Amino acid sequence: MAKTKSKTVKRAASTELESVYVMKMVLYLILGAQWLWLTPAGGGRVPIPVGLLVGIAFAVHDHFQIDRKIEYAVLLVAMLVGFMANIGISIAI
């Protein structure tokens, strides 16, 4: 009779501190609200959500990707608030 040894592998849980999590959410809130408003000479405004694009790039390359869905949701809400409040840089072309 052959005995098989069962090997247990212990993995370190990749958790982050609460302060790091809150700081990331504040970063995503501020970053997601940033817009680039282009104003052509003829009139009208063209909004470009640059903060959302940069925020998604940060969220994709985040080391702890446990809560990526929450990060995307925070970015989207911040983007809508930034659009309604006209937050960002305005450039006249």
Considering only 7-16, 33-42, 79-88, which range has the smallest mean pLDDT? Answer: 7-16
Q: Where are the domains of the chain?
A: 18-92
| Tokens 């072309």 found at | 93
**CA atoms of 34 and 27, how far apart (whole Å):** 11
**CA atoms of 87 and 24, how far apart (whole Å):** 20
Instruction: Say what percent of the chain tops pLDDT 90.
Output: 46
CA distances, 92 to each of 47, 55, 86, 88 (Å): 12, 25, 15, 13
How many other C-beta atoms are found inside a 10 Å radius of the C-beta of residue 90? 12
pLDDT of 15 strictly over 80: no
> Which has the higher per-residue pLDDT, 1 or 43?
43
